Amino acid sequence: MKDSVIILCGGGPAPGMNTVVCSVAKTFLSNGFRVIGLHGGYSGLFSKTPRTEDLDFFKADAYFNRGGSYLQMSRFKPTDDDFENNFNLDLFKENNIKLLVTVGGDDTASTANRIAKFLERKKYPIKNIHVPKTIDNDLPLPDNTPTFGFTSAQDEGAHLARTIYEDARTSGNWLLVSAMGRSAGHLALGIGEATHCPMTIIPEMFNKVQITIDKILKLTLSSIIKRKILGIDYGTVVVAEGVFHDLSAEDIKAAGVHMTYDEHGHPELGKISKAVLFNELLEKEMKKIGLKVKTRPVEIGYDVRCQDPVAFDLSYCSRLAMGVYDLYSKGETGCMVFVNAFGEAKPLYLHDLQNEEGKIPPRRVDIEGGIARNYYSYICHSITPADYEAAKAYVPNPEDYDFKKILGW
């Protein structure tokens, strides 16, 4: 019987999923392996009736450059009891599986780490290599290397935001944009930077003060007032959904937001329109201070997850897939594949990345790094002390809208 490799995809979709899966298939097929696709993410590993199918060259060649995921995904997270009682080792034995390839984000990586430990403890001769994926860009890869899918999501998000900005300019309105990203602001900042958005609000910028809805509104108004001073009566504000992760329960409740949480304990931010919520709160605040500005909400989220990958991700994902084979050939296991700027595959060991709880902490925006520093210094429009006198034409207390004072910078 041929040696086999099995592939599963966990979490939510990202551009490049099919590129990784199909490139892994092509690479291992060309080296004499059988390649099995497992539908349903990790749930298939803990089921007596897993849904599998062989991936041949023609299937891989037809899907490698498409968005979405040919292998059905799942957010299933196994419990300790699942590991002890439901892990389907027979699936591996009966198909002579030598390698489990997992594709996913931080939760999928953390579960891959648990599987690696479990297999090692049980002395099961199966290797495991994880391919890091997320449009949130929040996995701790070296040298600020992006996770696959992020660049494509940023590209589509920026395309949408450019159109939104043009609408704002054409109609003389302000459009409030909410962008996905979970607890990190990479996607929002990437969109804001690429479109010269006058204000981008991300959770990491509140590094010296407690994040509150009032501060978010004041930052937004700071940009609106600054542009009024400059004679610009339009603009966009991009707000990262991650600000919800750091808001206090009292602040959320006071704003009338009712949150639900997924099985990983993350707020289910996709169930509410953050843009609509912020727009309603902003309208109330502007009415209170007597500022007449027309605003409209726009959500950027699910529309960037399943687009076709851009050329960067097509190449990057192909290199990651070939890197999986390189690492496997060298006997590596229990690691994430990392490909550096020169195309060289390196292992990142999951046990070195985990915290005390066995989870891989998310990589957040370096608010003092060059990307964020340059954006907030040169692109962002906000009130400074030099604007106080002119700002008094719109608000009696302009110092309350001073960007650096709001953030304690």
CATH number for the region 4-148+309-353 comes to 3.40.50.450
In angstroms, rounded to a whole number, what is the distance separating the alpha carbons of residues 23 and 166?
Answer: 38
Which contacts of 36-39 are long-range, i.e. CB under 8 A and separated by 24 or more positions? 36/4, 36/5, 36/6, 36/7, 36/95, 36/97, 37/6, 37/7, 37/8, 37/70, 37/71, 38/6, 38/7, 38/8, 38/71, 39/71, 39/72
- Domain ranges in the chain are 4-148+309-353, 152-305+366-407
Residue 355 gets the label, from left (phi > 0), alpha (psi -120 to 50) or beta, of beta
Query: Could you give the C-alpha distances from 160 to 175, 194, 196, 249, 375, in angstroms and in order?
Result: 12, 11, 13, 32, 20
In angstroms, rounded to a whole number, what is the distance separating the alpha carbons of residues 200 and 242?
Answer: 12
- For residue range 182-210, what is the model confidence (pLDDT) as tens digits? 889 999 999 999 999 999 999 999 999 99
CATH H-level superfamily of 152-305+366-407: Phosphofructokinase domain (3.40.50.460)
**Do residues 239 and 211 lie in contact, with contact meaning Cβ atoms separated by under 8 Å?**
no
Q: Is the pTM of this model over 0.85?
A: yes
What DSSP string runs through 180-191?
--TT--HHHHHH
User: Of the listed 106, 107, 136, 251, which one is catalytic?
Assistant: 136
In tens digits, the chain (409 residues) has pLDDT values of: 899 999 999 989 999 999 999 999 999 999 999 999 999 999 999 999 999 999 999 999 999 999 999 999 998 999 999 998 999 988 998 999 999 999 987 778 778 778 878 888 888 888 999 998 999 999 889 999 999 999 999 999 999 999 999 999 999 999 999 999 888 999 999 999 999 999 999 999 999 999 999 999 999 999 999 999 999 999 999 999 989 878 887 887 777 666 666 665 655 655 667 889 899 999 999 999 999 999 999 999 888 999 999 999 999 999 999 999 999 999 999 899 999 999 999 999 877 888 888 777 889 999 999 999 999 999 999 999 999 999 999 999 999 999 999 999 9
240 strand-pairing partners: 179
**Residue 299, SS3?**
strand
Sheet of 4-9: strand order equals 52-54, 34-38, 4-9, 97-104, 127-132, 335-339, 345-349
One fold for both 4-148+309-353 and 152-305+366-407?
yes
In angstroms, rounded to a whole number, what is the distance separating the alpha carbons of residues 294 and 176?
Answer: 11
**Do residues 321 and 24 lie in contact, with contact meaning Cβ atoms separated by under 8 Å?**
yes
What DSSP string runs through 156-196?
HHHHHHHHHHHHHHHHT-EEEEEE--TT--HHHHHHHHHTT
Let me know if 136 is a catalytic residue: yes
Q: Are strands 52-54 and 34-38 parallel, antiparallel or unpaired?
A: antiparallel
